[in-house]
């Protein structure tokens, strides 16, 4: 089965995109909600956490493993591939390339966590795909917490989103990259704060890459269409999130991660 790993429920934006592409594929979803959010943690801390989560996922025989977390991808993708060379990892790469192709103003905005904005992964894709453009990052503190709470379009959420979007619009951005998998759940609020601005959600492209990787490696993609959710937090809360956010139904289990590294 294909594994999807995130700090919380945001990676379900990739899960939903993958489910649309492959309704019958079996998916194992791991939400590390006991330590969510990752955005204010150090790179070393995030890397250690990601290695622990990957150890458990590989012990379940899941492959490929999708790091449906921009923060974890920025901090740990290289370390995961080095630790588990026989396992394929699909990371969240900031969608600078499609943003550069669509920008007319020459200014790209990126909504992300501070850890993602400081990561070398973003710097690499910017140098490669947008060296001639102005890339403006906005660390969106607090937005992950709204999604985790199932609040995606309240007055409070719209006000918080507007605060983060305003500097990007003021800088002249005509394309905004959603650099956290939680943010697609806030798309309505973001669009309202940035009328006329193109929003880039990388989840569909990542889902396509995960499916291509599975097919190339001969991993079965025609299963029973199962979605198994595991959380290091409260299983009852995840069941509530599934309903609140309209996610694919599935079995939800609590998980204690220990002695897996």
Q: Which residues are catalytic?
A: 69, 180
The residue with tokens 């309240």 is 154
CA-to-CA distance for 202 and 196, rounded, in angstroms?
19
Bridge partners (DSSP) listed for residue 251: 228
CA-to-CA distance for 248 and 242, rounded, in angstroms?
7
CA-to-CA distance for 149 and 166, rounded, in angstroms?
24
**The two structure tokens encoding residue 66:** 């999708």
CA-to-CA distance for 93 and 71, rounded, in angstroms?
10
**The two structure tokens encoding residue 173:** 């951005």
**The two structure tokens encoding residue 163:** 């605060």
Q: What is the dihedral of CA 185, 190, 196, 200, to 10 degrees?
A: -50
Q: Are 113 and 46 in contact (CB under 8 A)?
A: no
């Amino acid at each position: 089965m294909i594994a999807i790993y995130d700090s919380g429920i945001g990676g379900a934006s990739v899960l939903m995109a993958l489910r649309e592409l492959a309704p019958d594929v079996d998916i194992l979803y791991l939400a590390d909600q006991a330590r969510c959010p990752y955005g204010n943690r150090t790179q070393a801390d995030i890397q250690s956490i990601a290695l622990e989560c990957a150890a458990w996922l590989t012990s379940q025989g899941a492959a490929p493993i999708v790091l449906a977390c921009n923060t974890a991808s920025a901090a740990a993708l290289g370390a995961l591939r080095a630790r588990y060379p026989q396992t394929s990892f699909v990371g969240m790469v900031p969608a600078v390339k499609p943003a550069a192709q669509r920008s007319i103003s020459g200014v790209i905005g990126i909504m992300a966590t501070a850890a993602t904005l400081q990561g070398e992964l973003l710097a690499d894709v910017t140098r490669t795909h947008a060296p001639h453009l102005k890339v403006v990052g906005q660390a969106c503190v607090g937005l992950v917490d709204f999604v985790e709470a199932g609040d995606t379009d309240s007055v409070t959420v719209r006000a918080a989103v507007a605060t983060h979007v305003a500097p990007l619009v003021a800088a002249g951005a005509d394309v905004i990259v959603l650099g956290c998998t939680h943010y697609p759940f806030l798309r309505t609020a973001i669009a309202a704060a940035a009328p006329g601005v193109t929003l880039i959600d990388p989840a569909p492209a990542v889902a396509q890459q995960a499916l291509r990787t599975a097919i190339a490696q001969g991993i079965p993609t025609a299963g029973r269409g199962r979605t198994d959710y595991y959380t290091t937090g409260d299983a009852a809360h995840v069941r509530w999130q599934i309903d609140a956010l309209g996610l694919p139904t599935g079995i939800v289990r609590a998980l204690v991660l220990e002695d897996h590294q």
